[in-house]
Chains A and B, each alone.
Chain A
């Protein structure tokens, strides 16, 4: 029976309007609402669904980050993951941690836990990198099924429908495989109160990157983090005729 490793990241909540720090070293995170990266909720949902369909026997949730990341892990456990692994990385090291480092940790854990699937979100909404699944697959030399909107087990393979620029495409991947979840894969469930209570009792193992033999030396220097340019305030036009006139002035309508 398959085992699934699912990745979850604690990020600033998607609805928060972020603020750049005045010293331009990053964005303000203290006292700001955080939650599970929305794509990771979809990844957890898919993993739990696969378990419910008896395609997997165990779902292991992995998070990497500071101490507070355990909250995110508990959410995954409340959604149905069986146990959690927390690789604690904080401070400056966390700020400069790249998907390459994360992928190395995922690959090590995947091997250690002998999993058949790694499922992660397509991208984290904080750094918007969209790299972890691809890099984890490369490090393990497994197939990658990125931007998945549908997953079906077909014999000893999985068939995955991927969201690509012109529409959809279907690929067939050998198992073990790495999958990244796109928005349309499913609708994540809410954790119910009894499940949140039960999740508190589920085991969470704490590891350090060096326990796994992963070097987390910085690969980049942050030169600056700045606000994007502000758009000039526009005007509200009273009717369609004025709008047409404005579009004529700008040369869009002849």
Chain B
């Protein structure tokens, strides 16, 4: 009896030690550069209580991203899977690799940024492992307790995950980026036949922009239906140049065809939290606020004094944007 109990507690202890040492971060990159959200995800991984963090870099060309990942503080190992099968980073091929990696290393936490990429891949992996994934966390309370928003950010859910493996996507704006200064070992990821004929990547049409990316920008100028046309967005680009800012949009502006969809900020677009967010001609629907209300300072320019955006703005200006924005551009 006593022996049994001792064995039992030893096994718990080994489990705990193993649990402390096994987090995998799925890196996001474009075969050229590492997506900055990977650094934020590493910070979230540290908060999960993981001493050892492994980053998996998969793609058709992994050199630059794996070197960048190895430099992140807190990363102890980088696994590289360079293979033509990962062309287009399809979830089908990556899931096969992730399952093979998990079978070999038995991670307790698997994380990725909550981007279009992470959102597509991690739930597929979770189903293969029979785990309920946890989307878009904003905080980590302990190794099994996480915080996320529900109802377009109008409620905050704290949940305890019961599954043995935690599969998590991370809201980048809620975690500092891990700093450089590490020097992790770079190793080969498990090999296998990861080629899939289920989905084939055909092409990409990326929006070209010289501006900072929306999710990384310190200042964002955002336009809504009040801009009235795509051409009028030039007013916002002029103002954005003064601040070195990114330009975003509400769903109304995207649906009206003023700007492409990847500029959409909100519940179903991008979630941003810049130092300064200037909302121009945006009423402030719940779904839009969900994407920007964690910004440090919010400025609203709208001619309707009753617009809900004024309830969250630090500085509101009730004015015609076609007069106020050019004036602001000349004065800043």
Name A residues whose Cβ lies closer than 8 Å to a Cβ of B.
Answer: 12, 14-15, 17-18, 20, 27, 39, 98-100, 103, 122-123, 125-132, 134-139, 141-147, 149, 159, 162-174, 182-184, 218-228, 231-237, 239-241, 243-244, 246-247, 250, 252-253
Instruction: Give a binary string over B307-332; 1 marks a CB under 8 Å from any A CB, 0 the rest.
Output: 00011111111110000100110011
The CA of A166 and the CA of B33, in the complex, are separated in Å by 14
Segment of B48-56, B157-165, B229-237 engaged in the interface with chain A: B157-165
B32 to chain A, nearest CB (A): 12
Which of B163, B312, B319 touches A219 (beta carbons < 8 Å)?
Answer: B163
Cβ–Cβ contact A241 & B116, under 8 A: no
B191 to chain A, nearest CB (A): 21
Apart from A165-B262, A240-B324: 20 A-B pairs, beta carbons within 8 A: A14-B286, A18-B155, A132-B123, A138-B123, A146-B91, A146-B120, A149-B261, A165-B117, A165-B215, A167-B204, A170-B203, A170-B204, A171-B88, A171-B199, A219-B131, A220-B159, A220-B162, A232-B314, A235-B315, A244-B328
Contacts of A233 in B (CB 8 A): 311
The CA of A233 and the CA of B331, in the complex, are separated in Å by 26
The CA of A29 and the CA of B130, in the complex, are separated in Å by 30
Cβ–Cβ contact B161 & A228, under 8 A: no
Which of A170, A224, A247 touches B202 (beta carbons < 8 Å)?
Answer: A170
The CA of A228 and the CA of B261, in the complex, are separated in Å by 27
Interface assignment of B76: CB less than 8 Å from any CB of chain A:
no
Cβ–Cβ contact A174 & B159, under 8 A: no
Cβ–Cβ contact B151 & A126, under 8 A: yes
Interface assignment of B59: CB less than 8 Å from any CB of chain A:
no
Interface assignment of B187: CB less than 8 Å from any CB of chain A:
no
Contacts of A223 in B (CB 8 A): 145, 158-160
Cβ–Cβ contact B132 & A100, under 8 A: yes
* 10 examples of A-B residue contacts, CB within 8 angstroms: A100-B127, A100-B133, A138-B128, A141-B198, A165-B215, A168-B204, A171-B200, A183-B251, A219-B162, A226-B155
The CA of A252 and the CA of B244, in the complex, are separated in Å by 11
Cβ–Cβ contact B243 & A138, under 8 A: no
Contacts of B3 in A (CB 8 A): none
Which residue in chain B gives the minimum CB-CB distance to A174? B198
Of the listed residues B115, B199, B202, B317, the one surrounded by the most CB atoms of chain A closer than 10 A to its CB is B199
Contacts of A222 in B (CB 8 A): 157-159
Given A138-B127, A183-B268, are A228 and B204 neighbors across the interface (CB < 8 Å)? no
Instruction: Give the number of residues in B that approach A within 8 Å (Cβ atoms).
Output: 89
Contacts of B149 in A (CB 8 A): 128, 228
Cβ–Cβ contact B197 & A235, under 8 A: no
Cβ–Cβ contact A131 & B262, under 8 A: no
Segment of B6-14, B16-24, B64-72, B292-300 engaged in the interface with chain A: B292-300
For chain B, residues 105 to 144, give those with C-beta under 8 angstroms from any C-beta of chain A: 115-117, 119-128, 130-136
Interface assignment of B210: CB less than 8 Å from any CB of chain A:
no
Cβ–Cβ contact B132 & A168, under 8 A: no
Of the listed residues B120, B207, B260, B297, the one surrounded by the most CB atoms of chain A closer than 10 A to its CB is B120
The CA of A184 and the CA of B269, in the complex, are separated in Å by 12
Which of A27, A128, A218 touches B135 (beta carbons < 8 Å)?
Answer: A128
B223 to chain A, nearest CB (A): 17
B294 to chain A, nearest CB (A): 9
Cβ–Cβ contact A138 & B88, under 8 A: no
Cβ–Cβ contact B255 & A128, under 8 A: no
Interface assignment of B193: CB less than 8 Å from any CB of chain A:
no
Contacts of A15 in B (CB 8 A): 286
Which residue in chain B gives the minimum CB-CB distance to A170? B202
Instruction: Give a binary string over B198-216; 1 marks a CB under 8 Å from any A CB, 0 the rest.
Output: 1111111111000000010
Cβ–Cβ contact A125 & B120, under 8 A: no
Q: Which 8 interchain pairs have the tightest Cβ spacing? A: A138-B127, A219-B132, A134-B123, A143-B198, A135-B127, A131-B123, A234-B314, A223-B158
Contacts of B215 in A (CB 8 A): 165
Which residue in chain B gives the minimum CB-CB distance to A141? B198
Interface assignment of B174: CB less than 8 Å from any CB of chain A:
no
Contacts of B103 in A (CB 8 A): none
The CA of A33 and the CA of B182, in the complex, are separated in Å by 52
Contacts of B201 in A (CB 8 A): 169, 171
Given A138-B123, A143-B199, A240-B317, are A252 and B156 neighbors across the interface (CB < 8 Å)? no
Cβ–Cβ contact A240 & B152, under 8 A: no
Contacts of B316 in A (CB 8 A): 234-237
Cβ–Cβ contact B95 & A243, under 8 A: no
Of the listed residues B122, B155, B286, the one surrounded by the most CB atoms of chain A closer than 10 A to its CB is B155
The CA of A160 and the CA of B155, in the complex, are separated in Å by 34
Cβ–Cβ contact A220 & B158, under 8 A: no
Which of A14, A168, A184, A240 touches B287 (beta carbons < 8 Å)?
Answer: A14
